[in-house]
Amino acid sequence: MKAETLPSPLLAKELIDFLQGLQIEKVPAPVADIAKWCLLDSLGCALFGSKQEWARIMLEEMSAEGGQGVSTVIGRDKPLPAPAAALCNGTAAHGFELDDLLDEPIVHPGAIIIPAVLATAESVNASGARLLLGVIAGYESMNRIGIAMGLEPAHRGFHKTTLVGPVGAAIAAGVVMNLSPAQLLTAAALGCSTASGVKSYAAGTGGGMMKRMHAGRAAESGVRMAQLAARDFSAPPSAIDGRFGLLECFGGKDIKPEELTKNLGKSWATENVYVKVYSCCSWIQAAVQQLVALRGDKPLAPGDIAKIRIGVSSYATKNNGAVAPPDIMGAQYSFPYCAALAATADPADPAMYTEKEINNSARRELARRVELYVDAEMEAAYPKHYGSRVEVQLANGKSLQSFVMDPHGMPADPVTEPERIAKFKRLAAPVLAANTTEEIIRKVRAVETLNSARELSALLRT
């Protein structure tokens, strides 16, 4: 990227000054309300993820260091220092492909921002209002920096969530800590130097546990950078949008620094949050939704299906076409597996993505009869829309067809309040008693009134 394409004066400072000055009473009520739902959704994802093997390993590693702190590890009883707790909780929240997404920048904010603000708020005993401001600021910064960065990093194999995430987490944690404008700019700048993450988990050879920790590492980095900034550790103020900054180094020809401040204070990131319904990659959700609708309440038998054709963007065909995924991560990123699952079982059940289920022989055979192709309309809509075109060719000669531009959960077709609550209860059920779950919902819905965020976090321990 040529230096003359970079903004002068730097726009990142304007964005950070705006976020540092947020006041809960001046944030539009709908924005704050959605931020609360984002908080609840991410807590549910972290509760469910806390029981997964990767969350257990991460907690054991952090506990082995012997650090003392007051920040909750969700679903556990022993607290840790804030960065370590953010690492554990981010790993859990991003641990089963259920966490939210901002579609245009292609980043997962909740699994990074919520662990960062929760751990930070506990460590400094911040109020619920400051926690909520941290959520709003974190989502806003990840969305704007992610859009400004463009799509080329994702196409080159970077995981944009973890390029943008440490910066968003640093800003979110810094807002919770009520850092000065100069300190908050420093926290964000330091976060730029922790940006990392490659998408080898999507290469079709098995994802292992690597992606699970990406959000955790970003949350951990953000918290630590905010703590360093609070101690007056310094950094160049141009690290986001200046020479050799985050945008120039990772961005490509479509870098758009003006997006950092475009309609600032008028349009908000929380208005564009995509709430996932199924435990799989965001690109796949529309196809899964349509297959469930086409088959009806009763799943089809694999033998009833001759072929399934799915039209998507070229990006999805290149990255989500593994026919025989070798592990859970691979299955959650595989159109063929998820399509076979949606046609013949319950894709809303996270248990259907376990090792036992992904090795179901009949389902694997059906996955081989799933064809992906580039649909011109889907290609033109990428990445603002995550739709697909589906055709099910039945063995009896009949054909079932459907088209959805925006899957359920997108702002164009948002989940309802009862659906949000039902998702949280389903994810929390393996970990918490029903009465505790209800109390968490009440606390989150009134989080800005809490004198201390610890009133909420105490309910997340077991």
- β pairing state of 305-312 and 273-274: unpaired
Gyration radius of the chain over CA positions: 21
CATH number for domain 3-274, candidates 1.10.4100.10, 3.40.50.80, 3.30.450.20, 1.10.10.10: 1.10.4100.10
Q: Compute the distance between CA of residue 356 and CA of residue 40 in angstroms, rounded to an integer.
A: 30
Residue type, 236: P
Hey, where are the domains in the chain? 3-274, 282-404
> In the predicted model, is pLDDT for residue 1 greater than 50?
no
Percentage above 70 pLDDT, the chain: 98
3-state DSSP of 280-344: CCHHHHHHHHHHHHHHCCCCCCHHHEEEEEEEECHHHHHHCCCCCCCCHHHHHCCHHHHHHHHHH
d(CA 344, CA 59): 36
Residues 6+ apart with CB under 8 A from 417: 37
Instruction: Please report, for residues 69, 83, 456, 458, the alpha-carbon distance to residue 78 in angstroms, rounded to integers and kept in the order given.
Output: 9, 14, 16, 11
Tens of pLDDT, residues 234-291: 999 999 999 999 999 999 788 999 999 999 999 999 999 999 999 999 999 999 999 9
| pLDDT over 60 at 4, yes or no | no
Q: How many CB atoms lie within 10 A of CB 205?
A: 13
Q: What is the pLDDT of residue 407?
A: 96
Q: Which CATH architecture has domain 282-404?
A: 2-Layer Sandwich (3.30)
Which of 310, 280, 289 shows the shortest CA–CA distance to 415?
A: 289
Share of the chain above pLDDT 90, in %: 89
Whether pLDDT at 85 is above 90: yes
Q: Write the pLDDT tens digit of every residue in 145-195.
A: 999 999 999 989 999 999 999 999 999 999 999 999 999 999 999 999 999
Residue 374 pLDDT > 80: yes
User: For residue 2, what pLDDT is reported?
Assistant: 45
Q: What pLDDT sits at residue 222?
A: 98
9 pLDDT above the threshold of 70: no
Q: How far apart are CA 439 and CA 450, in angstroms?
A: 13
pLDDT digits over 345-355, tens only? Answer: 999 998 899 88
pLDDT in tens, 114-143: 999 999 999 999 999 999 999 999 999 999
